[in-house]
């Protein structure tokens, strides 16, 4: 940007007020410079508060309980992190659309339930995985299904055109009947009403169904596709990331993370997580 351009920018910014070229240049360059921010761990220590972005409409990871307070896997994970940081946890309600912006704008110090992708890795950093997220085949306890070969001759419900549909279509034998529905609710209803023997859903949905329909004794049969959840945070927050990773590692070793998984996902933490 040349001196004339800087002067024009200054005039647009400051109206008819007369500035010398040197002041205008200095003001604009200051505004264009990256905004510095304190190390996140130091900021948390100073304030005594850690702000953690969570979904509150994503059971069993996060939802509003009967007492109108947030509950779920991620809420308990947030409390573990707060304890490790010796900080009060402030839950920041986020959506899929705004949560990355909240993190970038420092409205949240970290986010929970973040799947790791190459695109996201360009702009944020990830902790080690703390929760399993995967697609799986679910069915009644009395139906013997342990792998894809056992789907032979079975009927399976799935939401049309989804990752669930693609995943089961790759492994199901030709003799299996895949019934495709317009949305996940249709696929779930077909299973619960007995129209099909099995269904393919995420482990989060599966856990909710296990909890709400014990009479039919549904259970997870086998896993299809895995994309575990990580804690996401802004780039280069090395010290904070070390603290979060230490929290996860300790929770795995002492069994507390496994207890959270059994409570909310109705299954033990995978050994390979």
The answer to the question of residue 203 being in a domain is yes
pLDDT of 215 reads: 79
- In terms of domains, do 120 and 239 share one? yes
pLDDT grade for 227, boundaries at 50, 70 and 90? confident
- In terms of domains, do 112 and 236 share one? yes
| 175-195: average pLDDT | 92
Instruction: Give CB contacts under 8 A, 24+ apart, made by 264-270.
Output: 264/60, 264/61, 264/72, 264/73, 264/76, 264/207, 265/60, 265/73, 265/131, 265/132, 265/203, 265/204, 265/207, 266/206, 266/207, 266/210, 266/211, 267/203, 267/207, 267/220, 269/132, 270/132
| 69-93: average pLDDT | 97
pLDDT of 271 reads: 86
pLDDT of 9 reads: 28
- From 97, 109, 94, 112, select the one nearest 57 (Cα to Cα): 94
Instruction: Decide which of 187 and 22 is more confident.
Output: 187
The answer to the question of residue 249 being in a domain is yes
The single-letter DSSP state of residue 131 is B
- In terms of domains, do 151 and 189 share one? yes
User: What are 1-25's pLDDT values in tens digits?
Assistant: 333 333 322 332 323 333 333 334 3
- In terms of domains, do 166 and 183 share one? yes
Q: For the chain, what is the domain count? A: 3
The answer to the question of residue 168 being in a domain is yes
Maximum mean pLDDT: which of 31-40, 58-67, 78-87, 94-103: 78-87
- In terms of domains, do 126 and 240 share one? yes
The CA distances from residue 162 to 116, 152, 157, 180, in Å, are 19, 22, 12, 10
- In terms of domains, do 68 and 200 share one? no
The single-letter DSSP state of residue 215 is G
pLDDT grade for 172, boundaries at 50, 70 and 90? very high
- In terms of domains, do 108 and 144 share one? no
pLDDT of 104 reads: 95
The answer to the question of residue 197 being in a domain is yes
- In terms of domains, do 50 and 123 share one? yes
- In terms of domains, do 63 and 114 share one? yes
Least confident of 2-11, 113-122, 170-179, 201-210: 2-11
- In terms of domains, do 128 and 138 share one? no
Distance CA 73, CA 75 (A): 6
- In terms of domains, do 119 and 103 share one? yes
The single-letter DSSP state of residue 161 is T
pLDDT above 50 (res 68): yes
- In terms of domains, do 10 and 121 share one? no
The answer to the question of residue 273 being in a domain is no
pLDDT of 38 reads: 65
The answer to the question of residue 272 being in a domain is no
The answer to the question of residue 270 being in a domain is no
Record the tokens describing residue 170, joined without a space: 């790759």
| 145-150: average pLDDT | 96
The answer to the question of residue 68 being in a domain is yes
Least confident of 34-43, 121-130, 150-159, 220-229: 34-43
For 25, the domain range is 3-32
pLDDT of 15 reads: 32
- CATH number reported for the structural domain that contains residue 115 in this entry: 3.40.190.10
Other beta carbons within 10 Å of 22: 10
As a whole number, the mean pLDDT across the chain is 85
pLDDT of 37 reads: 52
């Amino acid at each position: 940007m040349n001196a004339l351009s800087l002067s024009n920018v200054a005039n647009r910014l400051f109206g008819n007020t007369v500035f010398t070229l040197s002041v205008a240049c200095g003001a604009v360059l200051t505004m264009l410079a990256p905004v510095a921010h304190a190390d996140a761990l130091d900021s948390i220590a100073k304030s005594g508060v850690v702000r953690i972005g969570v979904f509150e409409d994503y059971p069993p990871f996060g939802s509003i309980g009967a007492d109108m307070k947030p509950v779920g896997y991620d809420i308990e994970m947030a409390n573990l992190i707060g304890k490790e940081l010796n900080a009060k946890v402030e839950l920041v309600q986020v959506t899929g659309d705004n949560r990355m912006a909240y993190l970038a704008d420092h409205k949240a110090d970290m986010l929970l339930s973040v799947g790791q992708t190459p695109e996201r890795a360009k702009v944020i950093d990830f902790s080690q995985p703390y929760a399993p997220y995967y697609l799986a085949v679910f069915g009644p306890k009395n139906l013997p299904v342990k792998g894809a070969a056992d789907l032979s001759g079975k009927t399976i419900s799935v939401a049309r055109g989804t990752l669930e549909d693609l995943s089961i279509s790759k492994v199901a034998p030709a003799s299996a009947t895949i019934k495709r529905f317009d949305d996940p609710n249709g696929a779930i209803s077909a299973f619960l009403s007995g129209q099909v023997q099995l269904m393919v859903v995420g482990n989060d949905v599966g856990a909710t169904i296990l909890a709400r329909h014990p009479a039919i004794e549904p259970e997870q049969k086998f896993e299809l596709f895995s994309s575990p959840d990580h804690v996401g945070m802004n780039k280069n927050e090395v010290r904070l990331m070390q603290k979060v990773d230490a929290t996860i590692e300790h929770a795995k070793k002492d069994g507390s993370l496994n207890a959270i998984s059994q409570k909310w996902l109705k299954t033990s933490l995978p050994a390979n997580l």
